[in-house]
Amino acid sequence: MRSILKPLLLIFVILGSYVAVAAWGFWAVVIRPGVVWIDVASHNRHHQSNLSVGIPSILVDSVVNTISTSARVRHWSHDWSHNSSHHSSHHDEIEEWAPMIGAIARELENSPDFVLVDVEDSNDHVTVERINGAIRVRVSNDRENVSIIIPQESSRRVLRALGTI
């Protein structure tokens, strides 16, 4: 009986370690940074569909960090080669709007909850708001309702990245 207890104990320790590492990984990747929720409801006379997708916000953070770093590198290379004739009009447009985007992002990061955009026309209704630090974007019309919720920590990181442009 004793000879079987040692291998069983070893198996339980190994399995317990795997479970602990998986739980820590789930916490570090999904729970702590939060989840960006995208909900889409589409409907017409013949068909109705609903889709709800949760994306770990660490993926969104990675994309934002890549874009922010790329914008800073372009800004630095633009300053370094200012006399170069290879400037694109798209890059110049970004350069023109970058200070304003950065200032707005820095103000939004410290702002209380409020509705940033609320626009309605004859077909569509768009709302962008900050609720408990999260950013929610809702777009609706006769055929579709789309809602995107960016959690508080992820919205802070997005705004900080935009603030550095």
| More reliable by pLDDT, 4 or 92 | 4
Provide the 3-class DSSP secondary structure of residue 165. coil
In Å, what is the CA distance from 40 to each residue of 25, 56, 144, 146, 149? 28, 17, 7, 5, 12
Angle at the Cα of 149 from the Cα atoms of 30 and 67, rounded to 5 degrees:
75
Q: Scanning the structure block, which residue is given the tokens 């609720």?
A: 131
User: How many other C-beta atoms can be found within 10 angstroms of the C-beta atom of residue 70?
Assistant: 10
Q: Scanning the structure block, which residue is given the tokens 């630090």?
A: 133
Structure token pair of residue 32: 């702590």
In this prediction, residues 120-149 reach a mean pLDDT of: 90
Q: Scanning the structure block, which residue is given the tokens 């004859």?
A: 122
Percent of the chain's residues with pLDDT above 90: 16
Q: Mind listing the pLDDT tens digit for each residue in 14-69?
A: 998 888 888 888 777 767 777 888 999 998 778 888 999 988 887 877 777 776 67
pLDDT computed for residue 39 by the predictor: 92
Provide the 3-class DSSP secondary structure of residue 128. strand
- Nearest-angstrom CA–CA distance, 87 and 84: 7
Most distant CA pair in the chain: distance in Å?
A: 82
DSSP state of 29: I
